Amino acid sequence: MNRLLTRVALVAATMCIPIASASETLKIGFLTTLSGQGAAIGQDIRDGFALGVKHSGDRLGGVPLEVQYVDDQLSPESARQTADRFIKLNKVDIVTGVVYGSVLIPILPAILASDTVYISTNPGPADYAGAKCHKNLFVAALQNEDIPQAMGRYAASKSYKRVALMAANYPGGREAIVGFKRQFKEVAVEEIYTKLGQLDYASEIVTLRESKPEAIFFMLPGAMGINFIKQFEAAGLTKQIALLAPGYSADEDTIRAVGDPVVGVFNASQWSADLPGALNQKFVEDFTKTYGRPPTMNASQGYDTALLIDNAVRKTGGKVRDREALRQALRKAEFQSLRGPFRFNTNQFPIHTLYLRVVQKDASGKIGNKLVGELLPNHADPYAAECKL
C-alpha cells in the first residue's frame, strides 16, 4: 500500500488514498507544487511526508489515514479551488504542503476561518507570525526570516562591508532581505528584486560586476537559484564575489543540477544530513533508498510535519474531529524533530537552531553539505511578541 501511495503521489493524483479502511479516519489535504519550476521542492516535501507516514506504520497517531495529494500548479487560483474542495467536499481535518508564500497567503484566511488546521511545511509569513497569528496555523518548517537572519549573522562574522542582496519579488523573497538586514547592519551596495520564476540573470550579473561587492546573499528558490549560480559561475564571478545562500539554494537538488560551481558555498539551514542522531540517520538512509536521491532540507520539513501530526493525534487518543484537543496537542510538539530541539513559540512558529553548512567534496569526489556549526542557537522569530494567542 505504501508503494501505491508513493507511485500515485508521483503523478500528483487528486484522488483519495486510504491507508486503511475504517469508519473514522484522519483526513489530510496535501496541496503542493508538483509541476513547473517549483516541482522539485514540492516533490521533496511530499516524499519526506510520505516517508514519515511509512515510518509511523502507514497511519498517523495510530488511526486510519486518508491523504489527498494535489498539484497547486504554483497558481493561487488553482490552490483556492482545491482548498475549497478539501474543506467543503472532502471535509479534511488538516491541510498542509504548500511551497510558496505567494500561493499560501491568498488561500490561508479561508482555511483558518473554516476551523481547519493548517500546518506549514515551508512558508512562515511574517504577518501570520505576528498580529495575524491564528489558533489554526502551525508552522513546522521555519519563519521566512530565520535562514536569512542566520546568513546575515555569518556575513557580519566575516566582517564583510560590501554585500549585495538579491531576491525574487514575492513575500518569501522580500522577507528574506528583511531578515538578512536584521543581523547584517552594513548598507547593501545593491538590493535587487527579480520576477518570481525569472531564469535569465544577464542584467543582474552586469550590475554585480560593476558594483563589485565582496559577497552576495540571494534568495531565488528552485530553478531560479540553479540558473543564477550557473550564470554567475559562467561570468567568472565566483572567484571575485562570495555566494551566501539559504540552505535550499545549496542543497542536494541544486548540487545535482549545478555540480562543481556550488562547491565552497556557505549556506544556512535548520537541518543537515550529517546532524547526529539515529532518527536523522534512518531518515537519510531510507529516503535515499526509497526515492533514489538524497534528501534535502525541504524533505526533512515534510518528514517532521508527518511526525508532528502523528504525535499530536496520538495525544488526543485518536479524536481527530476534536479541533481544540488537536490544537492543544500540536502546541506541545512532543515529537523528535530531525533538526534537534524543537518547540513552538507562543505564535505557533518554531524555536530551533539555525546551522551553518558548506558545500564540499569528500575523499571520493562526492559533493555534499558538511555541517560547520551553529549560527543562531535556540532562535525565535522577532514577531512572536505581536501575537495575542
Lowest mean pLDDT among 3-17, 75-89, 321-335, 351-365: 3-17
Contact predicate 240/215, CB 8 Å: no
Does residue 107 sit within a domain?
yes
Check whether 7 has a pLDDT greater than 60.
no
Count the domains in the chain: 2
Do 355 and 268 form a contact (C-beta atoms < 8 A)? Answer: yes
Residue whose C-alpha is closest to residue 381's, from 356, 355, 333, 344: 344
Query: Do 224 and 369 have their domain in common?
Result: yes
What does the block give as the cell for 3?
Answer: 508503494
Q: Is 8 within the bounds of a domain?
A: no
Shared domain check, 368 and 264: yes
Domain contains 21 = no
Give the burial class of 203: count Cβ atoms within 10 A of its Cβ; 0-12 exposed, 13-18 middle, 19 or more buried: exposed
Question: Which CATH number does the domain housing residue 120 bear?
Answer: 3.40.50.2300
Q: The whole model's pTM is what?
A: 0.91
Beta pairing partners, 245:
267
Structural domain range at position 106: 26-142+275-344
Question: Quick check: is 3 in a domain?
Answer: no
**Are residues 162 and 310 located together in one domain of the fold?**
no
173 and 35 both lie in a single domain = no
Q: How confident is residue 38, by pLDDT bands cut at 50, 70 and 90? A: confident
In a domain, 109, yes or no: yes
Residue 3 has pLDDT above 80, yes or no: no
**151 in the same domain as 138:** no
Q: Domain check: are 104 and 173 in the same one? A: no
Instruction: Tell whether 264 and 375 lie within a shared domain.
Output: yes
C-alpha torsion sign, points 131, 137, 140, 141: negative
User: Residue 333 falls within a domain, yes or no?
Assistant: yes
Q: Looking at the domain assignment, is residue 15 inside a domain?
A: no
| Contact assessment for residue 227 and residue 324, using Cβ atoms and an 8 Å cutoff | no
Q: Residue 152 falls within a domain, yes or no?
A: yes
pLDDT digits (tens, 9 = 90+) for 60-94: 999 999 999 999 999 999 999 999 999 999 999 99
